[in-house]
């Protein structure tokens, strides 16, 4: 038996980008179906970033899923840069009149899943052997196996929101697709713990021992990271060893306020930059990690995905309202202009804050000199702040 569906937009991937697009389209009166390879529980449990740009906050409001975020999220007007043992605050709000929201991606996903379920919108999890066909024809088709049955979805368009390892990007022919990648020789060892944050705002630390980041998910849950070699294994780090190393990379005041506790989650994340072009091929539109990856320095991953979704939602709304395709035709160009700006910022901030093995002591001194200039130049601080809070759509 085959499950056969017809819809306007088939969304492959039920991460935050796919779910956000589905919710925005639903509120615009555009039918959509979501297909996901993993289980709903797996998707809901994934731990990811937690700093939201204003553009992302605005899109969540448009989607009608911002209520809990505004109740429980933490608006931040700035963050600290730590180098040479001292912290310097970057006042985001004073420099840009904007701020960021600290609210975990896990919570964003949960809010979107609940909204989709409440609206009774079709979602198919644990779909195996997904294929996408007909992208150059008059109708696209997404097929797969769902709970022992064949699934067949016919759609006007397909949104590929299925991440770096998904099937969507591979649908673009090899002679059309072009990719750009930079792999960094280090990663982030991250720990999540139910302890109060060491500071009310984030601390980005440049030290001779390597980078560190003090972040949080709430007033009682902290997320911390330390730079490690890309080959490092999480099994080599006890909780005590992690806390000791983090304390060594902080200034004395922060280290004295560090509250230790058992890890809820601990993992090593490699760092890389990646972009795929084009982001549109026929009836397929790529969004989020399917098209681009950034280092987590500066928290651009989820926010870039949300911006893609914002552009695609606007373009599809214009198409179904007027029948005009200009916005759809401009989708890839509009996205990639913003993507490459965010890639540049993430690469720059990563290069500035991390210990670069090939650069040695000279490189460390150059980083410290640039950081010194950055925090004492209003123009340089403003450029950093403008990119950190997010460029407008």
Q: Catalytic amino acids?
A: 76, 204, 296, 300, 388
Tell me how far apart the alpha carbons of residues 367 and 388 are, in angstroms, rounded to a whole number. 19
Instruction: Classify residue 348 by burial, with Cβ atoms within 10 Å: 0-12, 13-18, 19+.
Output: middle
Instruction: Classify residue 130 by burial, with Cβ atoms within 10 Å: 0-12, 13-18, 19+.
Output: buried
Token look-up 């809070």 returns 389
| DSSP character at residue 163 | -
157 with 32: CB under 8 angstroms? Answer: no
Q: Is the peptide bond before 372 cis (omega within 30 degrees of 0)?
A: no
| DSSP character at residue 288 | G
- Of 134, 152, 159, the residue nearest 30 (C-alpha): 159
Structure tokens belonging to residue 179: 């990719």
- Of 104, 176, 178, 168, the residue nearest 312 (C-alpha): 168
- 64-98 b/e with 16+ CB inside 10 Å = b? ebbeebeeebbebbbbbbbbeeebeebebeebbeb
Tell me how far apart the alpha carbons of residues 354 and 210 are, in angstroms, rounded to a whole number. 6
Tell me how far apart the alpha carbons of residues 305 and 112 are, in angstroms, rounded to a whole number. 15
């Amino acid at each position: 038996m085959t499950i056969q569906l017809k819809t306007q937009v088939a969304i492959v991937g039920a991460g935050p980008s796919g779910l956000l697009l589905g919710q925005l389209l639903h509120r615009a009166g555009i039918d959509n179906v979501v297909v996901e390879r993993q289980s709903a529980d797996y998707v809901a449990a994934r731990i990811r970033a937690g700093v939201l740009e204003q553009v992302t906050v605005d899109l969540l409001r448009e989607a009608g899923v911002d209520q809990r975020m505004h109740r429980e999220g933490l608006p931040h007007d700035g963050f600290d840069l730590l180098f040479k043992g001292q912290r310097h605050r970057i006042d985001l709000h004073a420099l840009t009149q904007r701020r960021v929201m600290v609210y975990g991606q896990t919570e964003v996903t949960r809010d979107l899943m609940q909204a989709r379920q409440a609206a009774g919108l079709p979602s198919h999890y644990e779909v195996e052997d997904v294929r996408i066909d007909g992208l150059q024809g008059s109708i696209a088709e997404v097929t797969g196996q769902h709970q022992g049955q064949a699934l067949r979805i016919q759609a006007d368009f397909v949104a590929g929101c299925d991440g770096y390892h998904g099937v969507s990007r591979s649908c673009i022919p090899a002679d059309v697709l072009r990719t750009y990648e930079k792999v960094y020789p280090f990663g982030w060892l991250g720990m999540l713990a139910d302890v109060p944050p060491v500071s009310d705002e984030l601390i980005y630390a440049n030290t001779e021992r390597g980078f560190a980041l003090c972040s949080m998910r709430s007033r009682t849950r902290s997320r911390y990271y330390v730079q490690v070699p890309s080959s490092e294994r999480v099994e080599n780090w006890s909780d005590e060893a992690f806390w000791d190393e983090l304390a060594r990379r902080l200034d004395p005041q922060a280290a004295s306020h560090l509250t230790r506790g058992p890890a809820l989650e601990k993992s090593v994340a490699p760092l890389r930059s990646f972009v795929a072009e084009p982001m549109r091929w026929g009836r397929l539109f790529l969004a989020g990690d399917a098209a681009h990856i950034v280092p987590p320095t500066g928290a651009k991953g989820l926010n870039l995905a949300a911006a893609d979704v914002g552009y695609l939602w606007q373009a599809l709304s214009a198409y179904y309202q007027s029948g005009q395709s200009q916005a759809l035709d401009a989708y890839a160009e509009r996205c990639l202009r913003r993507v490459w700006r965010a890639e540049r910022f993430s690469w720059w901030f990563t290069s500035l804050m991390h210990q670069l093995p090939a650069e040695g002591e000279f490189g460390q001194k150059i980083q410290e000199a640039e950081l010194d200039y950055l925090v004492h130049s209003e123009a340089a601080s403003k450029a950093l702040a403008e990119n950190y809070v997010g460029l407008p759509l």
